[in-house]
Structure 1
């Protein structure tokens, strides 16, 4: 049975922080607008401030729906959902109001300075919680966690390096005067301008990050991205595929044996019917 609380139960905070992923749901105020649900799966991206506030590092993606919905005047609604895939089943939802602090703002820098910020980080989204809901989660399948995919951070690191290369090559110092530094046409800020300025319903999303005077600089690889982790992820993926092939092969082999047994039974049943039919015919003739 589901239960509701006005804040996060203290005994569930560590459980929240231990989850490998969570989902974020937002929606525009318009009745015909698009509801958005996004998975967030980078370890360490979520931070529990206290029982009524959390925030997460919002990474660059192909869209920016949450930021647009949270910034819509009169809106700000957001729900975070966590689900247990192993051990005791559980679903937990955090209902609240969200605030977006974009890359390059003091509020963002306070939470994600250069030594902490990861590649592609575009904002810090703070959620003030007014209701917490828990439910059984009995319908959620059991899964084994293997690894986080490093591709998102690798891709973003490449985009950021292009912006830094252009700035370094130009010798531009306009950033000191508060003007945006030169950027690459194929860099991170160009990607933000192309993909993250509006929601699919046309609401403003990122506004200051794409034109900020700060050049994106991220913390060094920490085992969650980079070539080493990429190789590890590929090895894990290969291992999973091999296991799947082995299971499938075993299933096919098992299915083949069952089919043979079924064929034998069908053949025996058919022969039995044939014998019975002959017997009935002979019996009929005798009669």
Structure 2
């Protein structure tokens, strides 16, 4: 049975901090646009307060979340237990993209180990927390983090990453501008 909360409590925080993977979901306002769902890992999530969270976002072939939250702010973040008692926890809120060089970046970046592959930090103000049973989620065993993103970024170097971001990260697949648009 689903339960709803107005903020992240200590039990929620402990569950979040124990997870090795989470998923983000966002969507454009246009009904013809594509819904985005992305897995995240790399110890990249932080609970900032009972109603505020942030995660480090690494370079990727798209930048859908940034485009969607720039357009409408909506973001959902989901954690599910792949070991231990079954549980699913969703955070519903409004997000913003924080880019390197901003005052917010300077304040938040020390909370993360930021590899060269980091492109932005997504911050979300949470207005609803939902927990549900998770009975249908299978067990999986965590065996470690992948290092391809870090090796890829190290191989590209800063100049190569900037070129890649200019080619791949300024607009969503539906043509919406991201927070990086006009910044590179």
For the residues of structure 1 that align with 2:116 and 2:182, how far apart are their CA atoms?
18
Matches within 5 A, 1:1-287: 1-43=1-43, 45-72=44-71, 75-112=72-109, 116-160=113-157, 163=158, 183=159, 187-205=160-178, 206-207=180-181, 209=183, 211=184
- 1:116 Cα deviation (Å)? 4.1
- 1:109 Cα deviation (Å)? 2.4
Structure 1 residues 252-280: Cα deviation after superposition (integer angstroms, max 9, x where no partner)? xxxxxxxxxxxxxxxxxxxxxxxxxxxxx
For the residues of structure 1 that align with 2:149 and 2:173, how far apart are their CA atoms?
21
- Residues 104 and 208 of structure 1: is their aligned pair in 2 closer, same or farther, counting only changes over 3 Å? farther
Structure 1 residues 237-263: Cα deviation after superposition (integer angstroms, max 9, x where no partner)? xxxxxxxxxxxxxxxxxxxxxxxxxxx
For the residues of structure 2 that align with 1:119 and 1:63, how far apart are their CA atoms?
17
Instruction: Give structure 2 stretches of 5+ with no counterpart.
Output: none
- Residues 145 and 116 of structure 1: is their aligned pair in 2 closer, same or farther, counting only changes over 3 Å? closer
RMSD: 1.4
- 1:117 Cα deviation (Å)? 2.2
Number of residue-to-residue matches in the alignment: 182
Compute the TM-score of the two structures, normalised by the length of structure 2.
0.94
Higher strand share: 2
- Higher gyration radius (CA): 1
For the residues of structure 2 that align with 1:117 and 1:83, how far apart are their CA atoms?
25
For the residues of structure 2 that align with 1:95 and 1:88, how far apart are their CA atoms?
23
For the residues of structure 2 that align with 1:207 and 1:112, how far apart are their CA atoms?
21
Compute the TM-score of the two structures, normalised by the length of structure 1.
0.61
For the residues of structure 1 that align with 2:118 and 2:106, how far apart are their CA atoms?
11
Instruction: Give structure 1 stretches of 5+ with no counterpart.
Output: 164-182, 212-287
For the residues of structure 1 that align with 2:101 and 2:109, how far apart are their CA atoms?
10
- 1:104 Cα deviation (Å)? 2.4
Report SS of the residue matched to 2:33: coil
Structure 1 residues 193-229: Cα deviation after superposition (integer angstroms, max 9, x where no partner)? 01101001100012255x2xxxxxxxxxxxxxxxxxx
Contact 1:102 1:208 in 2 (8 A): no
